[in-house]
Amino acid sequence: MGYFRLLVVGNGISAYGSYLNLLALNVFIYDVTGSALAAGLFMTVRLAMSIVSGFVSGRLVSACDRKRLMVGADLCQAVALLTLLLAPYGTRPTLLYVLAFVTGGCSTLSQVALRSSVPEIVGADHRARANGLLVTGRSLAMIVGFASSGVVAGQLGYSAAVALDAVTFVISATIMFLLPIRTRAAAPVEAADSGLAESSDATQRTARILLRTAPLLMVMIAVRAVDGLGSSSHNVALPLYSHSLDPDHPATFISQFWATWAIGNIVAQQLYGRVTKRVGRMPGERAFALGACVMSAGFIVVFSGLPTVPTIIAALIAGAADGFTETVYVLRLQAAPDEQRGRLFGLSASAENAGFGLGMLVSGALLEAFSPLQVVATFHGLAITLCAVLLAVLLSRGSAVAQRGEEPAGRNIPTTAEGHG
């Protein structure tokens, strides 16, 4: 885990640059083009590339060296950012869309490669802890990035903020390149050793279990796509709702919301590892569905107009449930054999980005006619409904299996691909 902690630091540094740039780059685009529409087009191109890249990334991660892919993805984003800054002013509007293309594709590729590699880097027994460290690092990066974006951009300028983002990608790539880690499963070799034979049998048994549970995996991915719809709704509605609360200081509620959400997310990650270690098993699909319901309900309560304290508590619960469900979900996909893992995470990335992109468009249009609460409740209500259906299916399936006296598929995935319990 020592090397992995360094990887988390590098990943957190690049995440800090990305969150810092969310504000700086949008203003930079407006400064270059003089058009608010250009910023929207930039995000559209970037998101569309993220969706397409999910399918391509799954194939690349399954076929190529993942460490090289992650290093290359970080360096490509750094080069794209620096090229934009150093290019003649007249060429910058065109280069903006090249940047959107590169960052959209490379960020998805890096995410798919990293999540697929975690079981091989730290071992199956340490996946939960490793994923918790990654999410905690990114949550801390979000807090610091959002908190410092105004100061950095205001004191140093938006070009300096973009340059700083490029530097963070170089640092991340350097750390990844220097780490002596293995990101793929060892190639099988012929041997008569009984231990290898047992490992092969366990792998085959895991594959059979995963084949039987494939429909559940697809439903979980569908839930994540609908969660993307819900996430987009509260992201779009948040500025409007915050402005209605305090027109003179609209950023206050936004800052409070995201800081509280991130704290809840971090707390959930820390508790998850301790609780699962004590219990001796990992939560499964039922826990995932329940966590998603709590998360969506928390976001709805945030926009319901309650006093500050209950609203902050709801944001804290939503953040904690968000962190919990993400961990359960990622661990479930990581239980797949190494050769299948990349394609699953690629499909997941495309589904989540597609849900988020569609939600941005639809929720933005709906907010012209409906209140933030109505829009957020509608989108997150869809997620709750789908999770309720998933829970009903799981409960009926569990009852049927119990009546037959069989072990539920996926209940005890072997330790070679530590399961979801």
Residues 254 and 339 in one domain: yes
pLDDT digits (tens, 9 = 90+) for 158-206: 788 888 999 999 999 999 999 998 888 765 544 434 444 444 554 455 4
Alpha-carbon span 125 to 137, nearest angstrom? 20
pLDDT digits (tens, 9 = 90+) for 27-39: 777 777 777 677 7
pLDDT digits (tens, 9 = 90+) for 83-130: 988 888 778 888 888 998 999 999 999 999 999 999 999 887 888 888
The answer to whether residue 226 is domain-embedded is yes
Instruction: Count the domains in the chain.
Output: 2
Domain that holds residue 108: 2-178
The answer to whether residue 201 is domain-embedded is no
Q: Could you tell me which residue, 169 or 41, shows the higher pLDDT? A: 169
Residue 157: which region, alpha, beta or left (left: phi > 0; alpha: psi -120 to 50)? left
pLDDT digits (tens, 9 = 90+) for 227-283: 999 999 998 898 889 888 888 877 788 888 988 998 999 888 878 777 776 666 667
Residues 245 and 373 in one domain: yes
pTM of the model: 0.82
CATH for 108: 1.20.1250.20
Residues 298 and 403 in one domain: yes
Residues 125 and 219 in one domain: no
Residues 254 and 114 in one domain: no
Q: Could you tell me which residue, 149 or 100, shows the higher pLDDT? A: 100
The answer to whether residue 183 is domain-embedded is no
Residues 77 and 222 in one domain: no
Residues 165 and 223 in one domain: no
Residues 122 and 240 in one domain: no
Alpha-carbon span 307 to 86, nearest angstrom? 48
pLDDT digits (tens, 9 = 90+) for 328-358: 999 889 988 888 888 899 999 999 999 999 9
The answer to whether residue 19 is domain-embedded is yes
The answer to whether residue 314 is domain-embedded is yes
Alpha-carbon span 237 to 221, nearest angstrom? 25
Confidence of residue 405 (pLDDT cuts 50, 70, 90): low
Residues 317 and 396 in one domain: yes
Residues 144 and 241 in one domain: no
The answer to whether residue 62 is domain-embedded is yes
Map residue 281 onto helix, strand or coil.
coil
Residues 270 and 137 in one domain: no
Residues 149 and 228 in one domain: no
Please give the structure tokens belonging to residue 82.
């620096």
**What pLDDT, on a 0 to 100 scale, did the predictor assign at position 187?**
57
- End-to-end Cα spacing for the chain: 24
The answer to whether residue 202 is domain-embedded is no
The answer to whether residue 184 is domain-embedded is no
Output the CA torsion sign for 155, 160, 165, 169.
Answer: negative
Q: Which residues contact 228 (CB under 8 A, 6 or more apart)?
A: 351, 352, 353, 354, 355, 356, 357, 358, 359
